């Protein structure tokens, strides 16, 4: 089995040769080894030369003159803990580290580039962003939906913006790649650097996305409440729905951490509701023996239980998922009512609370480091890149690589095995 990409596909574009000495004194201590090997999966052949990602670090020589460069920052898509931390880190690194004085925020996502919306540019400096990390959300606002790539680059050119820091998930990264290609087609010297934002932790070649740890922290609070509710009533059931459209990382990690959970349902592992080995019959046996149960379900799980029909999409083109939490609640109540068994089910959906809280200490440090690394990369003239952490090392790789496929939780992974060992749940398959 060959690697999913070649050594040429991990090379990051450069706008030109860096000829300006960096004002950062730390750049003189640059690491001798500037690459981290991509670890192949079991059974996968390694290339010669081996595939490796660039390590993120300051550079001795930079491409942009800090006294003349203009930077812009934009946040797109759904909210996520740590967004303000990334914005603050980018501004502080540009301003204090490199002496850049022309920094702007783009209001309300990609809408902010389109003149017809009338969103003004927001001048940014340390006085504007000094306290924003203490708040959830994004001070720049956000939006969903595609915008004209040509119009976006028109604005970049018109405003003499030389580097764009774009913070967002899968759809935003695809837009960032198109922006970089349009910039290249016009022979413009504009660096495009992306910081991956996904509360679901589902971007490829990113070991962990910022905000994920905070999301798990907040999710475990909801699980604790569900457990308390379940214990407080006869045949008590606590049902918690967590984020995870196509990947169950939050549900699995929260359940593995807060070991009060009895059942975890995720998109990557199919299950049956009815039948002798189905979920409902297993739940019944649990109540007969223990009189309570806690269930965690990821929002993308069990979508096959809904009647087939035309699938609606949101403004970003994402399929609008059906509410598996409400369906499970109704099916559980119906199942036990038919058998004249009284249950006390409490349904908790903390999704918007989880998205909107400020980042915890670890996520605050992590998101700030990603923002700083994006600045180092852009100042050096690198473009079309995403900053990441891979096997515990901060690195950078082409955006095109990260959007090649979506990261999901493998059923044989250590995390899912840990969940199964903690819950003792069967396969729920007939």
Structural domain boundaries of the chain?
7-209+357-402, 212-356+412-423
Q: How far is residue 327 from each of residues 14, 62, 301, measured CA to CA in Å? A: 50, 55, 11
DSSP state of 48: S
The predicted pLDDT at position 40 comes to 53
The predicted pLDDT at position 32 comes to 46
CA-CA distance, 56 to 100, in Å (whole number)? 20
The predicted pLDDT at position 48 comes to 59
Domain 212-356+412-423 has CATH 3.40.50.460: yes
The predicted pLDDT at position 309 comes to 57
The predicted pLDDT at position 115 comes to 96
Number of other residues whose CB lies within 10 A of the CB of residue 321? 18
According to DSSP, the β-strands at 13-14 and 382-383 are: antiparallel
* Prediction pTM value: 0.92
According to DSSP, the β-strands at 263-265 and 163-168 are: unpaired
CB-based contacts of 109, cutoff 8 Å, min separation 6: 74, 75, 76, 77, 141, 142, 143, 144, 168
What is the CA angle 349-355-361, rounded to 5? 120
* Buried b / exposed e along 350-376 (16+ C-beta atoms within 10 A): bbeebbebbbbeebbebbbbbbbbbbb
| Torsion sign over Cα 395, 400, 404, 406 | positive
Averaged over successive runs of 10 residues, the pLDDT of the chain (430 residues) comes to 68 95 71 57 56 87 97 96 97 98 97 96 97 96 94 98 96 96 97 95 91 95 96 97 94 94 97 96 97 97 82 68 95 96 96 93 96 97 96 92 89 95 94
DSSP state of 41: P
The predicted pLDDT at position 25 comes to 76
The predicted pLDDT at position 8 comes to 79
Element at 195 (helix H, strand E):
strand 191-196
The predicted pLDDT at position 1 comes to 44
The predicted pLDDT at position 37 comes to 61
| Entry field: residues in the chain | 430
Domain range 7-209+357-402, CATH class: alpha beta
Backbone phi, psi, residue 394, to 5°: -70, 130
Find the largest Cα–Cα distance for the chain: 79
The predicted pLDDT at position 313 comes to 66
Q: How far is residue 356 from each of residues 114, 199, 208, 362, measured CA to CA in Å? A: 26, 11, 19, 17
Evaluate whether 7-209+357-402 and 212-356+412-423 have a shared fold.
yes
Which residues form the catalytic set? 200
């Amino acid at each position: 089995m060959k690697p999913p990409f070649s050594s040429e596909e991990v090379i990051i574009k450069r706008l030109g040769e860096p000829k300006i000495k960096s004002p950062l004194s730390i750049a003189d201590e640059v690491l001798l080894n500037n690459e981290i090997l991509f670890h192949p999966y079991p059974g996968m052949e390694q290339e010669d030369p081996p595939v490796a990602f660039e390590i993120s670090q300051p550079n001795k020589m930079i491409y942009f003159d800090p006294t003349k460069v203009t930077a812009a920052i934009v946040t797109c898509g759904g909210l996520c803990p740590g967004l303000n931390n990334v914005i603050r880190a980018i501004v502080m690194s540009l301003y204090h580290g490199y002496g850049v004085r022309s920094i702007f925020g783009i209001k309300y996502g990609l809408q902010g580039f389109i003149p017809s919306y009338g969103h003004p540019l927001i001048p940014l400096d340390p006085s504007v962003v000094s306290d924003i990390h203490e708040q959830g959300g994004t001070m720049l606002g956000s939006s969903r939906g595609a915008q004209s790539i040509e119009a976006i680059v028109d604005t970049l050119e018109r405003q003499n913006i030389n580097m764009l820091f774009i913070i967002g998930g899968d759809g935003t990264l695809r837009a960032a790649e198109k922006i970089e290609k349009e910039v290249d087609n016009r022979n413009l010297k504009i660096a495009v650097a992306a910081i991956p934002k996904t509360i679901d932790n589902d971007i490829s070649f990113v070991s962990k996305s910022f905000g994920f740890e905070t999301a798990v922290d907040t999710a475990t609070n909801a699980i604790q409440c569900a457990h308390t509710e379940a214990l407080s009533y006869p045949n008590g059931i606590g049902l918690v729905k967590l984020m995870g459209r196509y990947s169950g990382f939050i549900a699995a990690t929260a359940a593995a951490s807060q070991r009060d959970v009895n059942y975890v349902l995720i998109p990557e592992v199919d299950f049956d509701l009815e039948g002798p080995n189905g979920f409902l019959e297993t739940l019944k046996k649990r109540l007969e023996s223990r009189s309570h149960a806690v269930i965690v379900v990821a929002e993308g799980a069990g979508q096959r239980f809904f009647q087939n029909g035309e699938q609606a999409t949101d403004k970003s083109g994402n399929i609008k998922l059906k509410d598996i939490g409400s369906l499970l609640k109704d099916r559980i109540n119906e199942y036990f009512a038919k058998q004249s068994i009284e249950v006390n089910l409490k349904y908790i959906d903390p999704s918007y609370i989880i998205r909107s809280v400020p980042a915890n200490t670890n996520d605050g440090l992590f998101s700030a480091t990603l923002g700083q690394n994006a600045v180092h990369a852009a100042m050096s003239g690198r473009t079309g890149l995403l900053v990441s952490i891979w096997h515990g090392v901060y690195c950078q790789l082409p955006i095109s690589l990260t959007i090649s496929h979506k990261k999901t939780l493998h059923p044989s992974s250590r995390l899912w095995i840990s969940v199964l060992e903690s819950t003792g749940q069967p396969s729920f398959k007939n």
